[in-house]
Amino acid sequence: MQNLQAVIVGGGHAGAQLCASLRQSGWIGEILMISDEPALPYHRPLLSKDYLSGQAKMTDLLIRSPSFYEKQCITRRFGQVSSIDRQAHQLTLCDGSKVSYDKLALCLGARARKLSIPGAGLAGVHYLRTLSDIEAIRAELDGKRKVVVIGGGYTGLETAASLTNLGLAVTVLETATRVLQRVTAPQVSEFYARLHIENGVQLRTGCVLSAIEGDGRAQGVRCADGELIAADLIIVGIGVLPNTELAEAAGLSVGNGILIDGHGFTNDPNIVAAGDCANYFSTRYGCRLRLESVPNAGELAKVCAAALCGKFDNIDALPWFWSNQFNVKLQIAGLNVGHDTVVIRGDHRIGRSFTCFYLRSGRLIAADCVNRPQDFLLSKKLISEQLQVDVVRLVDESIPLNALMLELI
């Protein structure tokens, strides 16, 4: 491997971890990271939280310091790859230059899903995915008062919380009948609706949009019922799409992401994929998954790096996620796909601390832990060990979860 070159396309969380893990796994050849963002790899989740609100500087966002890449002999190059020649083991960049590789890692990430209504291209309409997106929003905040956030998922709600903390009047528009509808139980949605309303956010659910209106610049959102919601600034957070076009054009298998096996390989034995663009089969959940989370990006990157060094680990880490809104920290363990029972430990209707457990056939498969870090840690263990749980005792707050855990093992 001494004279070989590993090329990583993408400078997000997966790309940054893959660089580090390649060295840790014994790769002694060259490592080149090609990124279409000029900045060093940075923590994307902080964009809609601390960075948007001004609590963090650019240096606070960096995943690793510039000296790390120098010490590990990792070369970074700003550019965009336009094609992959798998037979020649060569990449072509948009500027026409060529880069050869022996092993290739695709950490292509995902892009913001665009609105498809009239007026979506007006000035004052912003998306929230990259550092440049946030910079554009921050540049427009001075003198603005009313902000409309389109999308009631985690990104939209986090953005609403950050802007509310800055003193802006925020309205969140969600087409579904409740916020977080695709990812949480009704009780969790109810809590987050209450949290935002108590902090002054206006929530409109079941709101179908017909157009963004304005004379050269967005001035409001027209709903299907005819109401116009005025706005000085509009921020769109309606999900993302995996970047698979480069892989598909090269003949790699895709389907809601780049398809990889249990070791991270695509259908080309010299190419792996990791991060938001990668789709793998989960033995834990019995289906293919494409997860959009920092922990998932990191775990996939570690497995891919090991595979490129001839060490074949399996993708089997338990998925987990988090979200910070106002003074509330949500930690999610597992995936609630296919649950048949939902129970609550605590009271989601009052206060700001409870846990929502999702079970299937008597076993815990996921937990949404609101300001309950101990519940989160113990839930991860319960889910990983697939233990049968007494639901009555699980929700009984007089019984500490660690005591319950001792009863089960």
**pLDDT tens digit sequence for 53-73:** 888 888 999 999 999 999 999
pLDDT digits (tens, 9 = 90+) for 83-99: 999 999 999 999 999 99
- Spans of all domains in the chain: 5-111+240-308, 114-236, 327-408
Q: Which residues contact 154 (CB under 8 A, 6 or more apart)?
A: 180, 183, 323
Domain 114-236: assigned CATH number: 3.50.50.60
Domains 5-111+240-308 and 114-236 share a fold: yes
Pairing of strands 98-100, 258-259: unpaired
pLDDT value at 293 more than 70:
yes
Per-residue confidence at 130, pLDDT binned at 50, 70, 90? Answer: very high
Give the mean model confidence (pLDDT) for residues 362-371: 95
Domain 327-408: assigned CATH number: 3.30.390.30
- pLDDT for 3 equals 79
Give the mean model confidence (pLDDT) for residues 169-191: 97
Q: What is the C-alpha separation between 325 and 314, in angstroms, rounded?
A: 34
pLDDT value at 149 more than 60:
yes
pLDDT value at 309 more than 90:
yes
Per-residue confidence at 2, pLDDT binned at 50, 70, 90? Answer: low
Which is the CATH superfamily of the domain at 5-111+240-308? FAD/NAD(P)-binding domain (3.50.50.60)
- pLDDT for 50 equals 85
Within 10 Å of residue 225's Cβ, how many Cβ atoms?
A: 9
Q: What is the C-alpha separation between 250 and 260, in angstroms, rounded?
A: 15
Pick the residue with more confidence: 19 or 316?
19
Nearest 5°: phi and psi at 12? Answer: -95, -155
pLDDT value at 285 more than 60:
yes
CB 381 within 8 A of CB 375: no
User: In the structure encoding, which two tokens stand for residue 335, read together?
Assistant: 């995936």
Per-residue confidence at 190, pLDDT binned at 50, 70, 90? Answer: very high
Give the mean model confidence (pLDDT) for residues 350-372: 95
Average pLDDT, rounded, for the chain: 94
User: In the structure encoding, which two tokens stand for residue 122, read together?
Assistant: 């007006």
